[in-house]
Amino acid sequence: MTGTNHGISAPGISSAANGVTPGMHPAVDPDIDAASSSAPGGLVKSVVALDRVVIRLAGDSGDGMQLTGGRFTSETASFGNDLSTLPNFPAEIRAPTGTLPGVSSFQLHFADHDIMTPGDAPDVLVVMNPAALKANLVDLPGGGLLIADSDEFTPRNLAKVGYASNPLEDGSLEKWQLVSVPLTSMTTDALADSGLGKKEAERSKNMFTLGLLSWMYHRPTEGTIRFLERQFRRKPQIAAANIAAFRAGFNYGETTEAFAVSYEVKPAPMAPGKYRHISGNQALSYGLVAAGQRSGLPVFLGAYPITPASDILHELSKHKAYGVRTFQAEDEIAGIGAALGASFGGALGVTTTSGPGVALKAETIGLAVMTELPLLIIDVQRGGPSTGLPTKTEQSDLLQALYGRNGEAPVPVIAPRSPGDCFDATLEAARIALTYRTPVILLSDGYLANGAEPWSIPAADELPDLRTEFATEPNGEDGEFLPYLRDPETLARPWAVPGTAGLQHRIGGLEKADKTGNISYDPANHDFMTRTRQAKVDGIAASIPATEVDDPNGDARVAVIGWGSTYGPIGAACRRIRASGRSIAQVHLRHLNPLPADLGEILARYDRVVCPEMNLGQLAMVLRAKYLVDVHSHTQVRGLPFRAAELAAVFQDVIDGTTGTVATLDTGSDTPAQTGAAL
Amino acid sequence: MTAIESTNAHVHDLGMPAGGPDVTTIAGAIDASVAANGEKQTTLKAKDLKTDQEVRWCPGCGDYVILNAVQSFLPSLGIAREDMVIVSGIGCSSRFPYYMNTYGMHSIHGRAPAIATGLAASRPDLSVWVVTGDGDALSIGGNHLIHTLRRNVNLTILLFNNRIYGLTKGQYSPTSEVGKVTKSTPMGSIDAPFNPVSLALGADATFVGRAMDSDRKGLTDVLRQAAEHQGTSLVEIYQNCNIFNDGAFELLKDPATGPMWTIPLVHGEPLVFGPGGASCVVRDDFGGLRIAETNQVDASQIVVHDAHREDPSYAFALSRLSSQDLRYSPMGVFRSVAKPTYDRMMADQLEDAAAQEPADLDALLAGGDSWTVS
Ligand SMILES: Cc1ncc(C[n+]2csc(CCOP(=O)(O)OP(=O)(O)O)c2C)c(N)n1
Ligand code: SF4
Ligand SMILES: [Mg+2]
């Protein structure tokens, strides 16, 4: 499509008031590898190579920023960059248009090398209205590129968010490279012949913007065109309009004087293989389908819709061909109840929810502990307590997962570390549930759920073999069936499914007598069974591989320990520390219960242990209690992931506190490979 | 009835769609063991359904008679013991599964319908029963009950209504009459009770019946129809708690008063009752029903019971004839209509999906937007 000039005029383009050459990329001091190219119309444009870029798109909830961001991500993934994304949207579906609560944003970090986070701060901020500007400008470092839809900066919209004068014109944005572009009117102009009304045509402005960004960053465009054709299969007129707007945006970039430079971010070197990009919820859903296939068991999902977990219910509902049953229950309790009922019948029972749902399911999780049936409880954590911050991320359900039940009710808990890792973590949760006949809680979170990254596609037949055996014969000495006679190694009890002749038995929530499973109120038996259930869960540690300690220099005296989605920011911060010449060891836990057998010994090796968490120190408390280690807890509950630079500063303080050295830290980037001083 | 059909088929349908992925299903292992055991044992006696567990209800409790009635009648269904599952909640009544030599789960308070739904929806080959109490089903578990009924999962729910919380020692329940004096209501309860049959019909239950614990014949008759019904059946069983609410149903049980206040429901028969058929049910002027004296109305005005009416409002009107003191209690099957069952429709969707696009995990994982790095 390059070169197809739709003859878009660019009325009213104001270049930056501050005299910075528009299009000079901010934030990154590029390896200038500029080449010149000649665009149609005789404009001379240069191409600048960058090693990484962070873009944030912000607009009203109705402006389609998530969709635009998702498409840009797909283009970027298929181009071969490493990437990481951070969608950030309000809980309201459509807060009043143009207001601060209605602002939705999508941040994407992409690079020619391996990166770990969606970026601390954007290099480029695109704002579709004054509210988006107001809500996001604080995060844009000075000198950053700011693209604004000038059409939306009307007196009314400005007044809605309390701007007395138009910031695009009053010089208040001098610190940044401002490019005002009438995105809305250029979109409607481009669609003048589309037959769509003005309001409808305006809705394609996100595609115009995507087209412009696609030109700026040399993104492949075929995927988006195919996507739009597919998406609006039944509405060809809308498909055509969106495609036209997308192309018009691209061509506008090529022809306008407002953008003199475009940027190239080369593909990142990745291990050979087949890749796709994947979000955490998608990876988790595929993990469940795969667990069903690899165990040979039908999957039964009982769920009640809740943000940010609902997408798993949606995704699994599409995969009935794989023997997956999805049951949208009347409430959270019915969701887990039905899943447990299905497990009793020989299915892999699963329930998906977020923190408030886990609170409601607690009693049934206890029943699963008592009946010793396999069951997966997926908690996609969000900000709490109560309804909290439904669309934001937090790690504050750890203690609820570990201890949030009546009685001594041990439950294995595991957590994925990245969107793609949600797949492997789900298979691991299924392995534990099936091998040990126990409920397992998987703690994902909003950041993992909605964030995306490139994912190396595994071969189905190389995934773990999860086949398990049902009891088929009586196991007692007198030919009777003993439902609580345990496997000596795993302490798992036999799983005898209804329909198996001769193995009829009754289970339930009342305390069971050892072996027979009959109701027992005997004091010694209760003590024994309580300890046995605990020992079974503790024993899982024997099946966990040795803990990986990432300390490339091998001489670290400070270790940082984390769990779940903080892996990226912690890892990025550790790279910065190492780039500044210091050493730090990184330990990241997948298994939170039981903890790995070697963990105590590992932690004891270091002078200081730092534990960053998006809660008020829940893992730190557990580690202190269990290992008597003086863990330094660093916490944040802003509903957003940690920034790598902030963590690096914390780590530096701890290291310098132990060693007494003071050196300046380059907070530039995720990786030592980064050149220049990025912000 | 699916469960009966499957008893001869020797297939334990673990719910994987036919033509699914090529994995060694464990269902296959079960089939093998079942086949090794030969024919399913479907000719049972009542004693085959008893367990070695000591029954722990209070002596004289109505639950005993219900247990005996169920154990005597179940063999007539021709279902093997291993194909029956009884799921209960919490309460005196919910101890039921321990005394039945079938598969069973004594679960948590109020949740039995939800648990049974997951089991029945994923194992349509089983005969799944729920045993619950008035507190279990209508207080803490009320939500699950109504949703289970509207979904029409293939389940039979036995609601033991003793109009009291037995296990927690005698508080009033959501079916207790207004003014009930209990430990928690020393001045009498002030909230109006549910009529479980009305509630179930309000949820559009496809099968609703009512029976008396001590009426072996009537109870068996309703239970048989409930078991044979495809979909969710609710049977309210009036059950005497001789410790905390003794004599709650005496008005209906006493041979002197029972016939006067009991309206036997027989499909296709006119609703005439009372000593000498003195009373009958006729339509009122507002589309509902009322009680009349038989000799005061024309025979053509007497309602002929039709349990198969699509519209639940007739059955609902029947349920409203009785007052909270149990006068004019219809006993028998109020409603029995055919509707597709949830488990069957779910299984159909799985089969349709598998027929359209066979499972291919590698293709699923790769998706439509992959790229290769070489
Ligand atoms: C979560 C929870 N809350 C309260 C209880 C206490 N409890 C046990 S049984 C019951 C009421 C039972 O009444 P009903 O269902 O009528 O059964 P019945 O004993 O009369 O047969 C209550 C309140 C419980 N077991 N679990
Ligand atoms: S308390 Fe009542 S319902 Fe419970 S066992 Fe005793 S008599 Fe039966
Ligand atoms: Mg009761």
Q: pLDDT tens, A578-599?
A: 999 999 999 999 999 999 999 9
Q: Is the pLDDT of residue B21 over 80?
A: no
Task: Give the per-residue SS3 of B95-147.
Answer: HHHHHECCEEEECCCCCHHHHHHHHHHHCCCCEEEEEEEHHHHHHHCHHHHHH
The Å distance, Cα B161 to ligand 1 centre, comes to 13
Q: Name the β-bridge partners of B235.
A: B158, B209
Position B68 pLDDT exceeds 50 = yes
pLDDT of residue A524: 98
Residue A611, C-beta contacts closer than 8 angstroms, at least 6 positions apart: A560, A561, A562, A617, A619, A620, A623, A631, A632, A633, A634
- The end-to-end CA distance of chain B, in Å, is 58
Mean pLDDT in residue range A604-631: 98
pLDDT for A439-493, tens place per residue?
999 999 999 999 999 999 999 999 999 999 999 999 999 999 999 999 999 999 9
Q: How far is B233 from chain A (nearest CA, A)?
A: 18
Q: How far is A484 from chain B (nearest CA, A)?
A: 14
Kindly state the percentage of chain A with pLDDT values over 70: 90
Contact B2, B228 (CB under 8 A): no
The average pLDDT across A123-151 equals: 97
Tell me which residue has tokens 């996100």.
A206
Q: Per-residue confidence at A634, pLDDT binned at 50, 70, 90?
A: very high
pLDDT band at B368; cut points 50, 70, 90:
confident
Q: What is the mean pLDDT of residues A153-161?
A: 96
**For ligand 1, atom 2: residue with the closest CA:** B109
Checking if the pLDDT of A38 tops 70, the result is no
pLDDT of residue A457: 98
Judged by its nearest atom, the ligand closest to the C-alpha of residue B140 is 1
Confidence of residue B10 (pLDDT cuts 50, 70, 90): very low
Q: CB of A507 within 8 A of CB of B106?
A: yes
Query: Which ligand neighbours the alpha carbon of B133 most closely?
Result: 1
pLDDT band at residue A659 using 50, 70 and 90 as cut-offs: low
Q: Which residues of B touch A469 (CB under 8 A)?
A: 26, 29
Q: Which ligand is nearest to the CA of B163?
A: 3
Query: For A318, which DSSP code?
Result: T
Task: Determine the residue of B56, B65, B90, B236 to mutate for testing ligand 1's pocket, defined as the one with the most ligand atoms within 8 A of the Cβ atom.
Answer: B90
Is any ligand 2 atom within 6 A of the Cβ of residue B57?
A: yes
pLDDT at A9 > cutoff 80: no
Candidate from B26, B82, B358 with C-beta closest to A504: B82
Higher pLDDT, A36 or A603: A603
Instruction: Report the pLDDT value the prediction gives residue A332, as an integer from 0 to 100.
Output: 98
Q: Report the alpha-carbon distance of residue A216 to residue A126 in Å, rounded.
A: 13
The alpha-carbon gap from B119 to the nearest alpha carbon of chain A, in Å, equals: 4
- Compute, in angstroms, the gap from residue B183 CA to the centroid of ligand 1: 15
A438 pLDDT band (50/70/90 cuts)?
A: very high
> Looking at ligand 2, which atom is closest to the CA of residue B62?
8
Reported residue count of chain A is 679
**Which of the listed residues B159, B165, B183, B238 should we mutate to test ligand 1's pocket, taking the one with most ligand atoms within 8 A of CB?**
B165
pLDDT given for residue B374 in this prediction:
82
Question: pLDDT for A392-411, tens place per residue?
Answer: 999 999 999 999 999 999 99
Question: Does residue B35 have a pLDDT over 90?
Answer: no
Cβ pair A509:B359 closer than 8 A: no
Res B323: pLDDT: 87
Pairing of strands B232-238, A506-508: unpaired
Q: Is B240 in the pocket of ligand 2 (CB under 6 A)?
A: no
Phi-psi region of A372 (alpha: psi -120 to 50; beta: other; left: phi over 0): left
pLDDT of amino acid A585: 98
CB-based contacts of B256, cutoff 8 Å, min separation 6: none
Higher pLDDT, residue A7 or A284: A284
Confidence (pLDDT) at B22: 39
Name the minimum distance, in Å, from the CA of A167 to any CA of chain B: 41
Mapped onto helix, strand or coil, the DSSP state of residue B156 is strand
Name the pLDDT band for A354 (thresholds 50, 70, 90).
very high
Q: Which two tokens stand for residue A577?
A: 């520390």
State pLDDT tens for residues A420-429: 999 999 999 9
Rounded Cα–Cα distance for residues A247 and A139 (Å): 30
How far does the centroid of ligand 1 lie from the alpha carbon of residue B198, in Å?
22
pLDDT confidence of residue A660 = 56
A325 vs B97: CB contact, 8 Å cut-off?
no
User: Which residue shows structure tokens 């010149």?
Assistant: A36
User: What's the pLDDT score for residue A43?
Assistant: 62
Q: Which residue from B34, B125, B369 is facing A500, i.e. has the nearest CB?
A: B34
Phi, psi angle pair for B77, to nearest 5°: -80, -15
| pLDDT value of position B9 | 35
Q: What is the mean pLDDT of residues B36-63?
A: 88
Say whether pLDDT at A21 is over 80.
no
Q: Report the gap between the CA of B198 and the closest CA in chain A (Å).
A: 21
In A393-488, alpha helices (H): 398-403, 421-436, 446-450
CA-nearest residue, atom 5 of ligand 2:
B57
Q: DSSP class of residue A419?
A: T
What's the length of chain B?
A: 374
Which residues does A407 contact at the CB level (< 8 Å), separation at least 6?
A: A366
pLDDT per residue as tens digits for the range A225-252: 999 999 999 999 999 999 999 999 999 9
Smallest Cβ–Cβ distance between A297 and the set B26, B117, B366 belongs to B26
Q: Annotate A441-460 with DSSP letters as a single string.
A: EEEEEHHHHH-EEEEEPPPG
B227: three-class secondary structure by DSSP: helix
Atom 2 in ligand 2: residue holding the nearest Cα: B241
Please give the distance, rounded to the nearest whole angstrom, from the Cα atom of residue B138 to the centre of ligand 3.
10
Residue B312, pLDDT above cutoff 70? yes
Which two three-digit tokens encode residue B188? 């009498």
A465 has a chain B CB within 8 A of its CB: no
Percentage of chain B lying above the pLDDT 90 cut: 85
Q: Among residues 278-307 of chain A, which lie with CB inside 8 Å of chain B? A: 286, 289-290, 293-298, 300, 302
Percent of chain B whose predicted confidence (pLDDT) is above 70 = 90
- Nearest ligand by distance to the CA of B139: 1
B58 close to ligand 2 (CB < 6 Angstrom): yes
Residue A22 has pLDDT above 80, yes or no: no
Average confidence (pLDDT) over B292-315: 97
Instruction: Count chain A–chain B contacts defined by CB atoms under 8 A.
Output: 266
Helical H segments across chain B, by residue range: 2-9, 26-36, 62-73, 112-122, 134-135, 142-151, 196-202, 216-228, 250-253, 258-261, 313-319, 342-356, 361-366
Are A498 and B83 within 8 A, CB to CB?
yes
Name the nearest CA neighbour of A364 among A395, A385, A384, A343: A343
pLDDT of res. B17: 58
**Cα nearest neighbour of B370 on chain A:** A276
Distance of CA A305 to the CA centre of its chain: 19
Q: What is the pLDDT of residue A30?
A: 34
* DSSP element (H, E) containing A588: strand A585-589
Distance B174 CA to ligand 1 centre (A): 12
